[in-house]
Amino acid sequence: MHTVVVGTSGVTASDVLAVARDGARVELSEEAALALAAARRIVDTLAAKPDPVYGVSTGFGALATRHISPQLRAQLQRNIVRSHAAGMGPRVEREVVRALMFLRLKTLCSGHTGVRPEVAQTMADVLNAGITPVVHEYGSLGCSGDLAPLSHCALTLMGEGDAEGPDGVVRPAGELLAEHGIDPVELREKEGLALLNGTDGMLGMLVMALADLDTLYKSADVTAALSLEALLGTDRVLAPELHAIRPHPGQGASAANMLAVLEGSELTGHHQDDAPRVQDAYSVRCAPQVAGAGRDTIAHARTVAERELASAVDNPVVLPDGRVESNGNFHGAPVGYVLDFLAIAAADLASITERRTDRLLDKNRSHGLPPFLADDPGVDSGLMIAQYTQAALVSEMKRLAVPASADSIPSSAMQEDHVSMGWSAARKLRTAVDNLTRVIAVELYAATRAVELREGLTPAPASRAVIEAVRKAGVQGPGPDRFLAPDLAVADAFVREGRLVAAAETVTGPLR
């Protein structure tokens, strides 16, 4: 099994994906162990002094003015975890919780949090045992970090609350720890606070969304090319020299992908009907511009994610010169913004994708294709309602594109009076990414059928490879009406698992 070693300088997106989705083992580097011990010595020194230090010998948030006596500090740290583990609603996905814990471990290992090495090691042990704390949908405002979600994870380290075992069964966390030989942690000064004060949940979901969107944008280029073929459109608008004079990188990449898929097609540029076109409709002609703008948004979001992956997010932080300083680095605005940007881009890509599908199904605009791509129109309804489903998905995505980060709701007796709502932005982006996958799957279903209905003209080799692969996967071609939901589910999986891109790339080589 792949092992990810966590040091003091952060982790990579591939590390997050390996741990969250592939169950990779986690190890702490010797460098991290030394940094943890050095920072802990600083905290212990400050804890022994009479002067109050936030997070070490004081209360938290609006209660930070109270100095806590030494005999109550362990109770204080336990209490903050118990009281902050106040999430509600359905459980979030296992991969999200694993990403959340791994990214918190990344910050612990930076040497800026002041927790003991055994606390970090216990978190690694829990991940390696396949134990997943029960974390709920609601409870984070994305400021002072993802407090409730991280608190539920910290509760598991203490042997309290519920967690899911490697067998998928939810049980008391204490039982699961005991079965795997893991001793619950007994928290000391600052450790409870350090376990729950970070942007790790929203960042983990951003990293996973970026990986998914990378595949989906390539998928959308392929389905757009198939639709262009099916509509007998022109590929001249994809010429590199046209995109070079508006040099947005994403636009150029998208056009290049479409051109690669269409190479060798006999369908493009024919305009064989009674109403010859000077230009194709925007949904066809401007596909690279829309998908390209989304790609550039992804590039910006990836830059933000990389900076966060190299960051130590905690409050207060331990500095190398021995100071423990309060700060505002836990604020989720940088991550929340790009999560919202991506939801907007995904909604627009879904919107233009649906418009191409609708054009394929409309006999007045499809240039010779049968109404709704039906076998016997009137007797058969064809893909009429598949497009309804696609339209419903797009409509929901437009609602999900309303920014969460534009909102703020004060909390903690106005001490935390401006929050990022980054967790909410991340949660709705996950739904948007799921819906975008389904929207692209419907275009794939319609476009492959439409290309096959263009008898007498040979599609591009890459298109033929896609059609052959999707038919082999179980999506049936043209014919009389049948139960469509199973076909659409197979098409969804074909896109979601990256098989659409892989099929095209057997001919085109790697897409950009």
Known catalytic residues? 54
Please name which of 442, 433, 362, 444 lies closest in space to residue 396, comparing C-alpha atoms. Answer: 433
| Collapsed DSSP state (helix, strand, coil) of residue 138 | strand
Quote the DSSP letter at residue 136. Answer: E
Please name which of 191, 185, 227 lies closest in space to residue 387, comparing C-alpha atoms. Answer: 227
Q: Using CA atoms, how far apart are residues 254 and 299, in angstroms rounded to an integer?
A: 14
Task: Say if CB 25 and CB 98 are below 8 A apart.
Answer: no
| Collapsed DSSP state (helix, strand, coil) of residue 132 | strand
Q: How many residues are recorded in the chain? A: 512
Q: Residue 43 corresponds to which tokens in the numbers above?
A: 């905290």
What DSSP line would sit under 264-299, residue for residue?
A: T-SSTT---SSS--SS--HHHHTHHHHHHHHHHHHH
Question: Left if phi > 0, otherwise alpha if psi is -120 to 50, otherwise beta: which for 279?
Answer: beta
Task: Say if CB 224 and CB 506 are below 8 A apart.
Answer: no
Please name which of 142, 464, 494 lies closest in space to residue 308, comparing C-alpha atoms. Answer: 142
Counting Cβ atoms within 10 Å, is residue 478 exposed (0-12), middle (13-18) or buried (19+)? middle
Cα-to-chain-centroid distance, residue 163: 23
In single-letter form, the type of residue at position 382 comes to G
Cα-to-chain-centroid distance, residue 358: 28
